[in-house]
Amino acid sequence: MSDNNFLVFSGTATQYLTTKICASLGVPQGQINITHFADGEFGVSYEESIRGRDVFLVQSTFPNSDNLMELLLMIDAAKRASARTINAVIPYFGWARQDRKDKPRVAIGAKLVADMLSVAGVNRVITMDLHADQEQGFFDVPVDHLYASSVMLPYIQSLNLENLVIATPDVGGSKRASAYSKFLGCPLVLCNKTRRRPNEVATMQIIGDVTDANVILIDDMVDTAGTITKAAELMIENGARSVRAIASHCVMSGPASERVQQSHLEEIVFTDSIPYTNRCAKVKQLSIADLIAETIRRVEDNQSISSQYLI
């Protein structure tokens, strides 16, 4: 891999992660200037030549929408500056929960955002733990879909928990949880939930036995933490010895931090795909910088991406 062949740039919101990615790669971070105007509009300009270079633009698209718009402008500016390839590194892909038409007259936000990235001029997307695997099909460019299990599984193994049980807080996450349970060789328990409205759980039941078990709940993201904390409470009520949670994306909006702090959870572990600034003693973040850096290396060297996955 030639050090002169690619450059890594960061959007404003993901600067903290890009710094670690560049340190892992052993390359300086690309110079970019994002200018803000009084009315809230902003502009993007590269402060060095990117003509004929492979550029990797690191930016998660969590709310607010400025993060997505900033990434789109970075892509457009790179296209107009004659970059050879434009690779969007999106550790957390926002709007992914809007992935289907589940009732009349609704938008499919994930498809819309994928189209916007393509129109802007992206050549490749590198992302992690999409809300649904099939969202890769929304893109008309190659998608390298990474899995947080690469950093989460070694952490779970380091806990050396006896009578370990893997659980999922809803049936929708059963595939991910099943992969964890098979890799770790332990039982799988499901929670069946119903909702009154988004972010509000109505009922929840356990399918399986958690008596005297050390339970780890597996999910792709935690938003308001209503589901994950209710699942933890249900596990304890049904005889679990302890409950922890593992989730890829630390959305943690609104009352989430307070709910987690007051819950039965021993801890909740995220990646650093989204920055977490609130203080909650039970929240722990594991870095995916090395995982992303290795993926960038493999893309540049035309090597297999999937061979670095544990599951």
Q: Which residues are identified as catalytic?
A: 193
Residues in a beta bridge with 184: none
CA angle 116, 69, 19 (to 5 degrees): 115
In angstroms, the Cα distances linking 122 to 43, 66, 141, 145, 195 are 18, 18, 8, 16, 37
Phi then psi dihedrals of residue 208, to 5 deg: 130, 180
Residues in a beta bridge with 217: 167, 245
Q: What is the Cα–Cα distance from 270 to 292, expressed in whole angstroms?
A: 16
- Judged on CB neighbours under 10 Å (0-12, 13-18, 19+), 99 is middle
Contact 197, 223 (CB under 8 A): no
Q: What tokens appear for 97 in the block?
A: 């929960």
188-197 and 200-207: which strand pairing?
antiparallel
Q: What is the Cα–Cα distance from 250 to 285, expressed in whole angstroms?
A: 8
Evaluated on CA atoms 177, 245, 203, 223, the torsion sign reads: negative
Q: What tokens appear for 137 in the block?
A: 């099909």
Q: What tokens appear for 98 in the block?
A: 């809007």
In the chain, what is the straight-line distance between the N-terminal and C-terminal CA atoms, in Å? 27
Contact 145, 108 (CB under 8 A): no
